[in-house]
Chains A and B, each alone.
Chain A
């Protein structure tokens, strides 16, 4: 039961409006460490707004966010990141003209030297980058290749490794396999499972119900800025999810 005692993320009654549009109308949900928590819903249900509130891109108008039981109030992505929350966006946020190790260490560069004369410690960064990828069993021919030359799946893997490194506790993923082929999707799903096994809390947004049912432990269904239902993945089905998302079935909590 100790695993269930503290939620990695717990949002309570979050509200967020943009002008007269109420994007979130009092959303409450949680995500546990060592689990994949999926958020599903139609376009405009408020999924993206919700994760942006958690990752600090937006600040919620009302309600509270607890990270590992601690009340937080993020106004910038950096604050959220300092609490171990990393986000992998649909646009991956990798710099194509930089190498893999440069991307993994962007704005977290390792330095050597004294005082103001600090220079990049390239060998240490290359070694650690290789270790970061290996830790999640990601194989990429050379850590020194530029991201431009990587396939979609390899890029996704690099972006995910970057999010999972750095002592993160929560990794938020927005449609991580939307642009990938079948084989690459399978690899990324394996990667997500390994991250889960390492005790990370994973918040997954996906339109792919099969994937959600395969990967997720807990599923939250959102519609029109509200949470319609929250249930264990093994207690539901694709049909029920569709019914909840479209509003054909009443919510259950």
Chain B
């Protein structure tokens, strides 16, 4: 601050001086963004090191690390969608049941003999429809995102039961199985798909006009509207993205478990919100990062995996994930 006022007094120095690398780092570290972005990376490395130290022969194996990557890929895709919703100061509570509905629609199409690619599209479109419905009601009817997506959570879960008659459908498919277990250069295919989505989402949010409008809408909707940003369109789009990704991720889930289950996987929802908060996305909107929630997803999976490896009962894992979410939210809050 002192420096600012000193330089500001002489307008002769109006030209911008190119800051040195050191200066850039100093500026960046003053930005609260910087720390919330990097704290998750540090925590991830720490978790891997700690479990690697406790159980080196079972945790830090190629097989186990591969497991962590595979287990992270689906939550990572869902977390990307959640990030868009949270960046506009919203939340999408319907992701897990939207994914279930997508899986059921996929299964229905598959048992009717549709080709694989059209099953995938059908499942994705089911997700898209849920997302657009969420966004439309939130934007146009001005109802709280919390209520709308909570309602959708029930609607989508119910529809999944209706369409499937409550029964899981076995999906036997060679290419799907190949996708679930295959890998290239130590990177599982599922993780590759997740990475493509993460990179594309990052590019969309930070390098397109619409991405800037998403950040602006989250930061200050009134100011964004005053500048002519179509904030209704922004809201509809972010929920549409979240729903579409959930519908798409349904296919990956089916590939892993070999069947379309009508039961909702609720831990996906908690995981996505946890990853977003841990990843440094502000729950008040306007501050987004895609890589943060992605690393946070890896962190959460590394943590659950580690707890399993060292023999902590699965029940305690729920407790620990919940605590991590609350703790990280509290940490961000005090910043």
Contacts and interface: CB of A to CB of B under 8 A. Distances in A.
Interface of A: 77-78, 81, 89, 91-98, 102, 106-107, 109, 111, 118-120, 122, 130, 134, 137, 139, 141-143, 145-146, 149, 151
Given A78-B228, A109-B209, A111-B209, A94 B223 contact: yes
B219 interface: yes
Interface stretch (B4-12, B71-79, B175-183, B307-315): B4-12
A107 B233 CA distance: 14
A149 B3 CA distance: 14
Contacts of B286: 95-98
Given A102-B212, A137-B14, A141-B7, A95 B19 contact: no
B207 A119 contact: yes
Nearest to B14: A139
B287 interface: yes
A134 B8 CA distance: 13
A141 B18 CA distance: 10
B226 A120 contact: no
Interface residues of B, number: 35
Interface of B: 4, 7-8, 11, 13-16, 19, 27, 30-31, 33, 203, 207-209, 211-213, 215-216, 218-220, 222-224, 226-229, 282, 286-287
Interface of B: prevailing SS: helix
Contacts of A89: 226
A106 B224 contact: yes
A97 B219 contact: yes
Nearest to B33: A146
Given A109-B209, A118-B209, A142 B27 contact: yes
Nearest to B203: A119
Contacts of B31: 146, 149
Contacts of B227: 93, 106-107
Given A97-B219, A137-B14, A120 B228 contact: no
Contacts of A77: 226, 228
Nearest to A111: B209
Contacts of B16: 130, 142-143
A37 B220 CA distance: 31
B11 A139 contact: yes
B14 A106 contact: no
Nearest to A126: B16
23 contacts: A78-B228, A89-B226, A91-B223, A92-B223, A94-B220, A95-B219, A95-B286, A96-B219, A97-B218, A97-B219, A102-B215, A102-B216, A106-B224, A106-B229, A107-B213, A107-B227, A109-B209, A122-B207, A139-B7, A139-B11, A139-B13, A142-B27, A151-B4
A16 to B, nearest CB: 20
Contacts of A151: 4
Contacts of B215: 95, 97-98, 102
